[in-house]
């Protein structure tokens, strides 16, 4: 099954990478860009019998490795 | 307007980051994980009059900076 884990910084946490991209875009002439936030999407092939089992595996992997829960939130979707 | 640019490696391009995450997950005991692919999502606040204008800005920014079109594909969505 295809599991998608969407990892994004929590509201209010500064995004230095986003800030850098914002400045780079401005220097390239894109003057109408405000806040820039960058997130990660991890697509995994998971051998699971049911979608529910695949989702639980995705959540366990997100907690164990894929997301730093101090500063990041994550969402798990079972795609197929 | 909120513009979302989804950047992912082209089919067939090796994903070393994904490979590393896959090995790390296996070493943490997640034995049922196959292929792992990692993508980026860039959320931008764009000052534009219409959704179409915002989409065009997003595409121009993706081509100029956000995606390396040699090895990456991108999709632009106007979220709000």
CA dihedral A21, A63, A5, B18 (to 10 degrees): 70
Cα distance between residue A20 and residue A23, in whole Å: 5
**Cβ–Cβ below 8 Å for A36 and B48:** no
DSSP tag of B21: H
Which of 1.20.1250.20, 3.40.1160.10, 3.30.1280.10, 3.40.50.2300 would CATH assign to domain A2-78?
A: 3.30.1280.10
Q: Which of A41, A53, A71 is nearest to B18 (CA)?
A: A41
* Residue A77 to residue A2: CA distance in whole angstroms: 9
Here the ipTM equals 0.91
The C-alpha of B70 sits at a distance from chain A's nearest C-alpha, in angstroms, of 19
Token pair of A42 as six digits: 């991890």
Q: How does pLDDT run across B2-17, given as a tens digit for each residue?
A: 999 999 999 999 999 9
| Cα B62 to Cα A37, B39, B44, distances in angstroms | 14, 14, 11
Answer yes or no: do B33 and A46 touch at CB < 8 A. yes
**Cα–Cα distance for residue pair B39/B16, rounded to 1 Å:** 12
User: Which residue in A3, A31, A43, A72 has the most chain B C-beta atoms within 10 A of its own C-beta, making it the best mutation to test that interface?
Assistant: A43
Q: pLDDT tens across A10-68, in order?
A: 999 999 999 999 999 999 999 999 999 999 999 999 999 999 999 999 999 999 999 99
Contacts of B59 (CB under 8 A, 6+ apart): B74, B76
Please say if the pLDDT value at position A80 is more than 90.
Answer: no
State the nearest Cα–Cα gap between B72 and chain A, in angstroms. 14
pLDDT at B56 over 90: yes
Residue with structure tokens 């003057």?
Answer: A31
pLDDT, tens digit, 9 for 90 and up, residues A4-20: 999 999 999 999 999 99
Q: Count the residues in chain B.
A: 80
The C-alpha of B11 sits at a distance from chain A's nearest C-alpha, in angstroms, of 13
Q: What is the pLDDT of residue B80?
A: 73
CB atoms within 10 A of CB B45: 17
């Amino acid at each position: 099954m295809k599991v998608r884990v969407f990892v994004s910084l929590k509201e209010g946490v500064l995004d230095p990478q986003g800030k850098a991209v914002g400045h780079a875009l401005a220097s390239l002439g894109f003057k109408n860009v405000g806040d820039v936030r960058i997130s990660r999407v991890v697509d995994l092939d998971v051998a699971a019998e049911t979608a529910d089992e695949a989702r639980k595996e995705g959540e366990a992997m997100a907690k164990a490795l894929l997301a730093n829960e101090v500063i990041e939130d994550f969402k798990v979707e079972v795609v197929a």
